[in-house]
Amino acid sequence: MAKQWTCVEAGCDATITAPDADAAIELAQAHIAEVHDSFELEDMIEAVLVDVTA
């Protein structure tokens, strides 16, 4: 089952879909760093991942 993460930074609703949790965490952390000059912890990303059909 693929994993989806949605950014909830004010004014951003970017959605990332990845084949597994590790890949989703990596992509989400890259998004937060590049777009918002910030960081997000892996446990926090993992806690809100949603199962989606690839």
Partner 1 sequence: MTSDVESKFHFSRALVEGEIYRKYEKAMRKHWTVEDLDFAQDALDWHRISPEQQKGLLGITIRFLAGEQAVTDELVPMLAAAHALRRFDWTMFLATFLVEEAKHAEFFMRWHEAVVGIVDPAEVAPHFLTRGKTIDPTGRFEVRDVMHEALPSYGRILHEAALGGTEREIERAFVQFSAAYNGFVEGVLTMPSYEIVIDTTTQWDAFPTLKQGFKLILADEGRHITFGTSACRLLIEKDPSYEEAVHEVFDAYRGNIVGLVEYQKAVPGLDVGKYQTMKVRHYRNRCREMGVKPDDTLIEQILDPSIDFVVGVEAG
Binding site for partner 1 (CB under 8 A): 7-10, 36-39, 41-44, 46-48
**35 near 14, Cβ under 8 Å?**
yes
Smaller CB separation from partner 1, 34 or 43: 43
Positions of E strands within the chain: 2-6, 15-18, 50-52
Q: How many whole angstroms separate alpha carbon 36 and alpha carbon 54?
A: 27
Smaller CB separation from partner 1, 2 or 46: 46
The minimum distance between CB 46 and partner 1, in angstroms, equals 8
The minimum distance between CB 5 and partner 1, in angstroms, equals 11
